[in-house]
Structure 1
Amino acid sequence: MTKSERETAVNRRSLLAAGALIGAVGVSTAPAAAAAPASASAASGRYARGMAVLRQVSGDRGAEVVESLSDIAPDLGRYIVEFAYGDVYARPGLDLKQRQLVTIGALAAQGDTAPQLRFHLDAALHVGLSPVEVVEALIHVVPFAGFPRALNAVTVARQVFADRGIAFQPPVQTDEQDRYERGVRKLVEVDGQHGLDVIESLRDIAPDLGRYVVEFAFGDVYHRPWLTLPQRQLVTIGALTASGDTAPQLRVHLGAALRVGLSRGQVVEALIHVVPYAGFPRVLNAVTVARGVFEEQRG
């Protein structure tokens, strides 16, 4: 093996070791021809459509990742292009900015996806989300996945901003209203009376937990003005669906998504979008929850 061949092999292994593939993560550019697998599928409509959408999302950064799999799992690279981007991302119903909000929620909530999150935070900026919206989406994950995962995700965002040369000036919440009162107002706006019923149900066993939900989740986080409520619910759907064991909470928040202006089609589309990041079982379970929410509303 020549020195050049050894360096190429090392580079490929480095990409794989970094976990750069899930979510079609890439770290550098490559020409389009390098990304096409050496099979008849390369010319398929799904592959061409997927590569076009991948470039819309990330520029040229995904191509080298697909090529890096050619010596070990070329079909995996093809599936990323054909399924994740040619099938899922290419679907109508959500635009690319909305899809990246769902993706950020799903990846940040899982907590062990730093390379993929780095790729998709960069992609979020590429498709038009602002740095403030990106950070706000990560803050929004805290009530659903906890501080450690949000802190890790913010560290990744700092790296992405540095790579892009973004001089970020973060906004700071300065609202001096009573946190509980503003939390109740926001809770009712998002969840309606059902949200208050959930808080009341905690009174006999953990009243302080109910108070924290109102004050922190809604009085602090949901009250922040840097994402709209539909945007917040897209992040929430991504986070809860990817977590996989949150059916009661997902039921509440799918209903809330409809309440704040997302359509049933957009809700289902957000669930389908999670498949490449968290798998079919969790999304199938979430769709079952959505069916129940829709039937309840029809009744």
Structure 2
Amino acid sequence: MTASAGRGRDAFAEIMTMPAPSSNTPAADHLLDFVFADVWQRPHLSRRDRRFVTLACVADADAEQPLRDHVYGALNSGDLTIVEIQESVLHFAVYAGWPKASRFNMVVDEQWHRIHTERGLPVPAPEPLLPLSTPSDPEQRLTTGEQSFRDINCLPYAPLRDNPYQGAGILNFVFGEMWLRPGLGMRERRLITVACVAFQDAPLPILSHVYAALRSRDLSFDEMDELTLHFAAHYGWPKASHLQGVVAEQKQRVSAEWAGEAGSGS
């Protein structure tokens, strides 16, 4: 075994909290030597940060065993709590779809039970879902959603309430509740969202969410570049190439806006 292969196997075991697989093919070799020994060890994103990006990728990819393994590793390592990963499932549902999130949620339950069985412990009672921290009054909730949309997207406007998609969906739920829920911070939600919009083929969400993550400073330029590399390793280079192009464009846009604000003293 080469030194590189040894590092890869050790890194896999530490990250995934299970023994590394046999490396007898080029794909398996480079999974260990590049993805785990190199990408997961790089600076700018923590191992916990990388969990959120990875989980979104494997949940969308319809890869059963990688999804099970990464959910298990995230929980068994203690990098993510059960509340954080369950909240990640809800956030993923909005940006990648409820059918895929349903499977993701089933795997989370399955692996949570597995971990407690392995440890000889009872599964704890779930955290209470109510009360919500967001308003229950319909008008207040829509108003909250409008302000949240502006704040999160770094825009001076919000969508009109003139159809169910924008009113009941975007304003009432997505920005009136989900982005404001306490289970995850804004940074974690940015990581999940950017990964999700990167594997979709919708042209506007990837522009708006990369822009907002950078403009808000929730993710730095270096962190966004690192997210792109991590995304490439877990979802594929063609989609990551498009993401990298969008990131480059939005860096220029944000830099120009910051320079303009500095020049005007605002």
TM-score normalized with structure 1 length: 0.75
Shift of 1:164: 0.9
Q: Deviations over 1:30-67 (max 9, x none)?
A: xxxxxxxxxxxx3143x3332232122112x242x2x2
**Taking every aligned residue pair, what percent have the same amino acid on both sides?**
22
Find the counterpart in structure 2 of residue 4 from structure 1: none
What does residue range 160-175 of structure 1 map to in structure 2 within 5 Å?
160-165=111-116, 166-175=123-132
What does residue range 126-275 of structure 1 map to in structure 2 within 5 Å?
126-165=77-116, 166-175=123-132, 177=135, 178-193=140-155, 196=158, 199-200=159-160, 207-211=163-167, 212-243=169-200, 245-258=201-214, 259=216, 261-275=218-232
Q: Deviations over 1:240-298 (max 9, x none)?
A: 2233x133211111122121521111111111101122110000000101111111112
Q: 1:57 aligns with which of 15, 22, 33?
A: 15
Find the counterpart in structure 2 of residue 78 from structure 1: 29
Change (3 A) 1:252 1:107: same
SS of residue in 2 equivalent to 1:274: helix
Change (3 A) 1:91 1:123: same
Q: Deviations over 1:162-211 (max 9, x none)?
A: 10114251341423613212212322221122562xx24xx7xx633221
Change (3 A) 1:188 1:139: same
Give the CA RMSD over aligned residues. Answer: 1.9
Asked whether the 8 Å contact 2:190–2:218 carries over to 1, the reply is no
Asked whether the 8 Å contact 1:161–1:168 carries over to 2, the reply is no
Letter in 2 for 1:228: G
Larger deviation, residues 180-189 vs 274-283 = 180-189
Q: 2:6 aligns with which of 48, 65, 69?
A: 48
State the distance in 1 between where 2:110 and 2:207 align: 35
Letter in 2 for 1:214: L
**Who wins on radius of gyration, i.e. which is larger?**
1
Larger deviation, residues 212-221 vs 174-183 = 174-183
Asked whether the 8 Å contact 1:121–1:157 carries over to 2, the reply is yes
Change (3 A) 1:119 1:295: same
State the distance in 2 between where 1:195 and 1:43 align: 56
Letter in 2 for 1:284: S
Letter in 2 for 1:52: D
Find the counterpart in structure 2 of residue 117 from structure 1: 67
Shift of 1:128: 1.8
State the distance in 1 between where 2:177 and 2:52 align: 20
